Structure 1
Amino acid sequence: MDLLLIISDVVSAVCYLLFLIGESCGRRTSTSPPSPCRLSSNKAMFQYEYYQEGDITIGGIFTVNHLIEYIQTYEIFHPRLLCTIPNVKNYATLMTLIFAIDEINKKSDLLPNITLGYHLYDTCGDSIQSVQNVLSIMTGQQLEVPNYSCRKHGEVAAFIGDMFSMAQLLGIYGYSKISYNDPDQLSRTNDLYRTFFTTTQHEDVRYMAISGLMVHYKWDWVGILTPFDNSGEAEAEKLRRQLNVHKVCVAFIIQLSSDWSINSEKLNIIQNSNARVIIICGKFHLHYGFLQNLAFLRENITFILHESWSSAFHMGADILQAINCSLILTHVGQYIPDLESFLDSTDVTNRPNDPILEDILYFYFACFIPNENKQFMFEKVYTIEVRNCTGGSYPITSQIARLTNPTFYQIYTAVYILAHALREMMITTKGINNGERTNGFRGKLQRFLRKVSYIDHTGQDITFNKNGGLSLPIYLLNWIYKKEASGYTFRTVDVGYVQLDEKQVFVIVFDDKIQWKTGKIPQSQCTEACPTGYRKAYPKHIQFCCNDCAQCSAGEISNVSDSEHCYKCPDDEWPDEKKVRCIPKSVEFLSYTTDILTSVFSSISLFFSVITLIILRTFIFFWDTPLVKANNRIVSFTLLVSILLSFLCVFLFLGRPVDVTCLLRQISFGFFFSVSVSSVLAKTIMVCIVFRATRPGSSWKKWMEAKYSYYVIVTCSSIQVLICVLWLLVSPPYQDADLYSYLGKIIIECNEGSDIWFYSMLGYLGLLAAVSFVLAFMVRTLPDSFNEAKYITFSMLVFCSVWIAMIPAYLSTKGKYMVAVEIFAILTSCAGILVCIFFPKCYILIMKPELNCRKQLVEKLNY
């Protein structure tokens, strides 16, 4: 918890207890003051107080000077703390409040017959001093007495200031407080903060705007810096939560220390981090040196500055160079008429008793100051060489770079808001009774503050929202410090703005106007962006902003860098080698133009077709010879023709499959091959019958007629035809495209429709071949010249071996290679039958014609 808030809460609780005691003992705020009001005390050397009487007094708490702690002890030193080194801009802010009050008092239409006074303190940023000063303002004199008012005239109606820790204390006493730089208080819901108002936007708007800026530039790995005075600790935590909502991770939250050795270690942490964007939280007035060193070590660092930096134009060249090209979200100030001339006249000649102006005269102009005690103390502490500046004019505007600073406009607006609320209250209550003290109407003032509404001199509608803040425009500024012909110049460029839409916040950025340190948009990611073809992968052990890069899976692409997901290609497309785009899949089939297997199979099929035709022509030429007659000419002719057609049906398996070829190829092969195997079976049966019929008195002679061979062929082939017809009727083959079996390929193939009918067709062929093989094996010892049983045995052995080996190979392959296996089986089995059965006969017909005679056949038979 913020240390300042803790102290404030403790003090406020004590004050509230005293308040209750005072209420129980009766009001102590009568016209005749009690004894505390008769006490007096000398003002301390470093009591920065401003007072002007009026009918209504406005209290003010400001931080102009800073605190430094001393170890050395001098009798004249403050016993605990020393306030020194004033901030000129903050002093100008205090003067702006005085200017606004004087301007209102000069107007006769805003608060007629009423003058505003003020009672202001510079607390040096010390929370304890702030409590004392607030109680002093309430009491009416320097001696702070809780629940006592020594004022006879000009009671305090409200407070304006920058110390947010005072909001709770003021809420106890019912005083309204208007802040000009503490939007964080708007998020508090405690009743003690019901009197709090601010002239800035709700801090959540700034958090969401910063988050939107991170998302816009894809900065998901950023750092946060806070000062050691805890002014940015709560802000940093709220900002971290808001960034996480937008999937932006915080690489580090570093609270700097007053010990430079500790800061050096933290500097190394930042230097070794991948974060190129650092967000500044809190008021960083004591850590300029750290930022200078950081910018020197990491030139590519881009700072997102706190709004309090909007007045940092007076800083030295080193710090301006360090924060060059930074971005800041701020309320852009508006020009206030006559303010510049008022500040020009604010110098030691016309304000000789101004305590802060004395410090400015010493620290900024190196002049002697009228306060001898303070001059003596400064000489003990500082080594500044001062001179006598009597008679010179030293306006503070010479130390202020821009009078349209948003802080000036906000505090100017705060005074006018209070004046308008007082005006409306007086109109409604018909003035203020001279005998009524302001603590009687300060509760009413809260209601009128919430309802205040007017148009200021810039045309801006001034109305508090439900949170008690003003919806003033927020702009994104780019700080540019560059060397030109006339020297180094510093300027800000409006590069965007924040747009509010109900509960949403949008950051509109004009990228072309922004200047970056490196000339291009910085990259602030935990890890490098994943290239195209890869996606983000999130290991469990690191933050969600940090990721690995995983290559897209098969069938997926990513065509943008740093992609969250890969996208699947359409079914007919496939990623290219880099997985960046989808390209059409290659189409695979046994092509006549591109596949060498097609050429090989075509050549083999044609070769054996020609051989079959030659054998057929030879058998026709020797049609009437004994050998041809003995081998059943019609059956042999049928066998040769079916083998020829089986060789030619291979061409139905080649080329791009279409529905017609898919219907014909398996059916034609099954039919022609069944005729071939049936013919072989018929030959085998006839060999068995003839062998048995040659015995005397054999009853097998009646089965020796040729017509029974034809019956065997027709019957066995008809069964295959029936299987094929049923196949076509139930589930016919069709052309299909296999998109998934092979990566990156579309296999154009024939879908067999029904595997049951397909394997039934093959199984029937196998059955015929097995029967032929068994029968032929049984009669293989018959005379060679008379029968061909031995050759049929070898041909069926080849046939069965090929198809038994083909089935597992067929089932284990896909696409064109599966078709190639079937073609190979067809060619091999047909060639086996052709070679084993007909080559021996052709050898006799052509090479050994002397054996082609009846005598030779009879001799063999008798043997």
Structure 2
Amino acid sequence: YFTNLLLLRLYSYFSPTVSSSLNSPSCQLQGQFHLNGMHKDGDVVLGGLFRTHFFSTYPDLSFTSEPSQPNCHGFDVPGFRQAQTMAFTIDEINRNSNLLPNVALGYSLYDNCVQLGVGFRAALLLVSGQEEQVVLHETCVGTPPVLGIVGDSSSTRSIAISTVLGLYRVPMVSYFATCSCLSDRQKFPSFFRTIPSDAFQVRAMIQILKHFGWTWVGLLIRDDDYGLHAARSFQTDLGPSDGGCLAYTETLPGNNDPAELKRIVDVMKKSTARVVIVFAHEGPMIKLLEEVVRQNVTGLQWIASEVWISATVLQTPRFMPYLGGTLGIAIRRGEMPGLRDFLLQIRPDLHHNNSYGNNMVNQFWEYTFQCRFAPPPAGWVEAGGALCTGQEDLESVDTEFLDVSNLRPEYNVYKAVYALAYALDDMLQCEPGRGPFSGHSCGNLHRLEPWQLLYYLGKVNFTTSFSDQVSFDENGDVLPIYDIMNWQWLPDGRTKVQTVGEVKKSAFKGEELTLDEDKIFWNFESKKPPRSVCSESCPPGTRMARRKGEPECCFDCIPCSEGKINSMECTSCPEDFWSSPQRDYCVPKKTEFLSYHEPLGIFLTATSLLGTFICIVVLGIFIYHHRTPIVRANNSELSFQLLLSLKLCFLCSLLFIGRPRLWTCQLRHAAFGISFVLCVSCILVKTMVVLAVFKASKPGGEASLKWFGVLQQRGTVLVLTSFQAVICTVWLVSASPVPHKNTKYHSDKIVYELLLGYIGLLAILSFLLAFLARNLPDSFNEAKLITFSMLIFCAVWVAFVPAYISSPGKYADAVEVFAILASSFGLLVALFGPKCYIILLRPERNTRKAIMGRGIKS
């Protein structure tokens, strides 16, 4: 009674005909609305708002007399069938002994005439009661107002009406209002709906766009809450990752301005977008399509919102060449057994002039049978008219009213009524003292409050006879589900609307799209889905580069750089991976090292073993001929040590070949350094001995030989080698080398390199040895051999440094092995080649006399 009391208070304040005291015994209503309605008494009354007329006219407001009521005309059969569906549902509930036992539901259904003013009048009438006079006792006595309202069918009207009803927490369950704005619980605390919101409808359409790869689409909307909020949802949710971009967004003119419609169709015609989404009612669609036909704009794939996908007025031979193949989102179809039989039982109320009559039924009867219930005007009978008797047969009339094969809005009405009934049933089953309200109280059938029903309505969870689950989330939205429809243009010219899939949202799996593509009719020569993209997808190995000033779906394709692959952007591969040649995926990097199995590794290994073998052969020759003068004259013990160190030098090169391990990494340079220090130490001592012998051959030089005895020679070699061993030990302990992944030479490969050690020091030492021997007489053959071997050694290692630095990857190791082998062969050939030549090929020169003779002649 909140609104009623408010009107009474206002009236008592302003009208001089009523008492100024609020305790006056009775008050007169400020005014009464005369609306088309249909009513049934009950213990609890539910209200309903339905569109049963297309148009309404308002009289001139001159205010010289009492204003007349709006006049509604243009009977809407589907809207009336929806109202009858609510009556059928309440009748079915009343016959159900398990739901609301001992409680009779009634209804008060009103026509909104597709006008906010009329719908608002009906809503106020529903929540404030209908008595002309209300007696004021402690509680108001009279016909009770409704406990909840099913409606409205429009988002705009639902927004306005629910804003007021929300103040009094009167529940309103809409069956057709889809605006996502109605999910705002702060603004609309008592609003619920059994149809999914536009937000989900947009998501469902985006799922279809993604499925067919349509990333470039046009959007046409109506200039109302329904269209504007749909456009906002698309602009928010639609993107390259979700399905595409909007090529254009156009608003259909409310006044159907021909010039504006022509401009919009021109935009559609020039755009490269082949898919057009339309959020508008069938009225604006007809005007738009007339311009499409006039300009002959074909080759478009239309996507329909739920308000016009089922509009038969558009499925005409004139429009189907353009609309054939349309895909759309449709309200879930349901089945209600017994509804057709209930509709057949509708009979007029011959006494409908009473204030509580069913004048909507009478108007339907007049519309269907073209008759009247009042005395006909002059000429009516002569024109073939007659009076309705109430005995006419509905089945004999060709009308869509009895077509129950495609019940969609009606199914939402059915679910809305049942939601209110289940909420009321839960409230009445509350046990006193265990209720959810203040003091653990429960609702009372004799004094029900609408806000109490809201609590239970939010917890409703039931399954319909069609096996659909109905429950509301925290925003009052139902668990969404849509059918996907396809307009099929048959060869004989007939039109068929075929269900080709569904999209729904479950609590556990999220959004699910199911499509049977074999059932879809495509209105194209190829009989396949069209392509609708601003830019084709980038091929593998390229990335998208957005075009400046254009939507995100318009881009150019730029090749990815090495080491990167493409997704939305080129991304770098992990450290141990590299891009494939096509830049479409990452592959493991090749591990590059100097292998025993490749030709270069085989050659270096063979060379190393050959050098080792030659050292063994030379050592055998020297051992076998150790008593000969040339061996004895060349300090056989140092020669044996030198051959041993050269053999170690050849063998240490093998540590640089093969997959690097930690132990080879630590051993290779230590073995290399110690081997070469041992070799150079022997040469150094040998050179010093040669210098001492040369000096002893001069007068007074005999004393110098005492410093170069056998023990001194061994000690010098041992000290020099030990010093090198100490340095290597300290190096391995303090900064032990490990296998190192180097990507500087080849960024697409892993290279194992080792830090060089002491090679510079060895080169300098070798050079100094050669420098010390420069003043020896040319006739002294051993000095010349040592000098020549040191020059080779220094030349090799001086050339090694730049070659090593500039060599990529495994070739750096190959250069180092080559330097080791080249310097070792240089020393071996220079120092032992001439001696072996004499021993093996010129034995006549391997005599003391020959050796001394050469020395004398020189």
TM-score tier by shorter-chain length is 0.5 to 0.7
Secondary structure of residue in 1 paired with 2:757 = helix
| Greater displacement, 672-681 / 337-346 | 337-346
Cα gap change, 1:677 to 1:578, in 2 (>3 Å)? same
Q: Cα deviation per residue 1:309-366 (whole Å; 9 max; x = unaligned)?
A: 465346424567727462425243332525466369789999999899999999x99x
Q: CA contact under 8 A between 1:332 and 1:474: conserved in structure 2?
A: no
Matched, 1:602 2:606: yes
Matched, 1:397 2:403: no
Cα gap change, 1:110 to 1:355, in 2 (>3 Å)? closer
Secondary structure of residue in 2 paired with 1:785 = coil
Q: Name the TM-score, length of structure 2 as normaliser.
A: 0.67
Q: Cα deviation per residue 1:427-480 (whole Å; 9 max; x = unaligned)?
A: 99xxxxxxxxxxxx9984664586588999949899996879685x65331323
Q: CA deviation at 1:769?
A: 1.5
1:155-170 correspondence runs (5 A) = 157=146, 161-162=151-152, 163-164=157-158, 165-168=160-163
Matched, 1:591 2:591: no
Q: CA deviation at 1:576?
A: 3.8
Distance 1:314 1:615 in 2: 111
Q: CA deviation at 1:776?
A: 1.3
Matched, 1:312 2:304: no
Among 250, 256, 263, the alignment partner of 2:252 is: 256
Q: CA contact under 8 A between 2:169 and 2:454: conserved in structure 1?
A: no
Distance 2:226 2:25 in 1: 40
Distance 2:469 2:750 in 1: 70
Matched, 1:774 2:771: yes
Q: Cα deviation per residue 1:354-410 (whole Å; 9 max; x = unaligned)?
A: 899999999x99x9999999999xxxxxxxxxx978899883634775455232344
Instruction: Please name the residue that 1:332 is paired with.
Output: 333
Instruction: Please name the residue that 1:3 is paired with.
Output: none
Secondary structure of residue in 1 paired with 2:226 = coil
Distance 1:616 1:207 in 2: 93
Instruction: Please name the residue that 2:692 is paired with.
Output: 689
Q: CA contact under 8 A between 1:48 and 1:355: conserved in structure 2?
A: no
Q: Cα deviation per residue 1:504-534 (whole Å; 9 max; x = unaligned)?
A: 7833443447744557788877765565666
Matched, 1:506 2:510: yes
Q: CA contact under 8 A between 2:677 and 2:720: conserved in structure 1?
A: no
Distance 2:641 2:464 in 1: 114
One-letter amino acid of the counterpart of residue 581, structure 2: E
Cα gap change, 1:786 to 1:286, in 2 (>3 Å)? closer
Instruction: Please name the residue that 1:233 is paired with.
Output: 228
Structure 2: runs of 5+ lacking an equivalent: 59-67, 133-140, 431-445
Distance 2:8 2:555 in 1: 54
Q: Cα deviation per residue 1:162-212 (whole Å; 9 max; x = unaligned)?
A: 332334456679977554323658535568x66656555676666676677
Identity rate of aligned residues, in percent? 25
Matched, 1:482 2:488: yes
Matched, 1:816 2:816: no
Matched, 1:493 2:499: yes
Q: CA contact under 8 A between 2:578 and 2:586: conserved in structure 1?
A: yes
Distance 1:738 1:106 in 2: 82
Cα gap change, 1:548 to 1:401, in 2 (>3 Å)? farther
Instruction: Please name the residue that 1:90 is paired with.
Output: 79
Instruction: Please name the residue that 1:577 is paired with.
Output: 581
Secondary structure of residue in 2 paired with 1:405 = coil
Q: CA contact under 8 A between 1:208 and 1:505: conserved in structure 2?
A: no
1:184-333 correspondence runs (5 A) = 184=179, 186-187=182-183, 189=185, 198=193, 200=195, 224-237=219-232, 241=236, 251=246, 253-257=249-253, 258-267=256-265, 280-281=278-279, 283-288=281-286, 290=288, 299=299, 301=301, 303=303, 305-306=305-306, 308-309=307-308, 311-313=310-312, 315-317=314-316, 322=323, 324=325, 326-328=327-329, 330-333=331-334
Secondary structure of residue in 2 paired with 1:495 = strand
Q: Cα deviation per residue 1:531-587 (whole Å; 9 max; x = unaligned)?
A: 5666778899887788877777766768xxx5789685684x655433556655544
Distance 1:415 1:97 in 2: 7
Instruction: Please name the residue that 2:410 is paired with.
Output: 408
Matched, 1:342 2:343: yes
Instruction: Please name the residue that 2:62 is paired with.
Output: none
Distance 2:119 2:31 in 1: 20
Instruction: Please name the residue that 2:439 is paired with.
Output: none
Instruction: Please name the residue that 1:803 is paired with.
Output: 797
Q: Cα deviation per residue 1:266-298 (whole Å; 9 max; x = unaligned)?
A: 445556778776655464542145469889857
Q: CA deviation at 1:161?
A: 4.6
Q: Cα deviation per residue 1:804-837 (whole Å; 9 max; x = unaligned)?
A: 3323443554643222222222233334445555
One-letter amino acid of the counterpart of residue 806, structure 1: F
Instruction: Please name the residue that 1:715 is paired with.
Output: 716
1:614-633 correspondence runs (5 A) = 624=628, 632=635
Cα gap change, 1:253 to 1:637, in 2 (>3 Å)? same
Cα gap change, 1:511 to 1:567, in 2 (>3 Å)? farther
| Greater displacement, 452-461 / 849-858 | 452-461
Cα gap change, 1:786 to 1:336, in 2 (>3 Å)? closer
Distance 1:814 1:421 in 2: 80
Q: CA deviation at 1:591?
A: 3.3
Q: Cα deviation per residue 1:237-264 (whole Å; 9 max; x = unaligned)?
A: 3565566899667625432222344344
One-letter amino acid of the counterpart of residue 590, structure 1: L
Distance 2:597 2:672 in 1: 24
Distance 1:607 1:770 in 2: 23
Q: Cα deviation per residue 1:219-253 (whole Å; 9 max; x = unaligned)?
A: 77766542134433234435655668996676254
One-letter amino acid of the counterpart of residue 680, structure 1: I
Secondary structure of residue in 2 paired with 1:231 = helix
Q: CA contact under 8 A between 1:53 and 1:154: conserved in structure 2?
A: no
Q: CA deviation at 1:711?
A: 3.0
Q: CA deviation at 1:692?
A: 3.5
1:335-484 correspondence runs (5 A) = 335=336, 337-339=338-340, 342=343, 395=397, 397-398=399-400, 401-402=403-404, 405-411=407-413, 444=449, 447=452, 458=465, 471=478, 474-482=480-488
Distance 1:521 1:113 in 2: 55
One-letter amino acid of the counterpart of residue 708, structure 1: G
Q: CA contact under 8 A between 1:180 and 1:407: conserved in structure 2?
A: yes
Instruction: Please name the residue that 2:787 is paired with.
Output: 793
1:488-567 correspondence runs (5 A) = 488=494, 490-493=496-499, 495-496=501-502, 498-501=504-507, 506-512=510-516, 515-517=519-521, 528-529=536-537
Distance 1:314 1:89 in 2: 13
Distance 1:138 1:84 in 2: 25
Q: CA contact under 8 A between 1:247 and 1:545: conserved in structure 2?
A: no
One-letter amino acid of the counterpart of residue 335, structure 2: Q
Q: CA deviation at 1:89?
A: 1.8
Cα gap change, 1:28 to 1:90, in 2 (>3 Å)? farther
Q: CA deviation at 1:114?
A: 9.5
Instruction: Please name the residue that 1:5 is paired with.
Output: none
Cα gap change, 1:825 to 1:314, in 2 (>3 Å)? same
Cα gap change, 1:97 to 1:580, in 2 (>3 Å)? closer
Q: CA contact under 8 A between 1:643 and 1:672: conserved in structure 2?
A: yes
Q: Cα deviation per residue 1:36-55 (whole Å; 9 max; x = unaligned)?
A: 78xx9xxxxxx984577979
| Greater displacement, 658-667 / 707-716 | 658-667
Structure 1: runs of 5+ lacking an equivalent: 1-10, 41-46, 71-78, 144-151, 377-386, 429-440
One-letter amino acid of the counterpart of residue 286, structure 1: P
Instruction: Please name the residue that 2:436 is paired with.
Output: none
Distance 1:564 1:15 in 2: 65
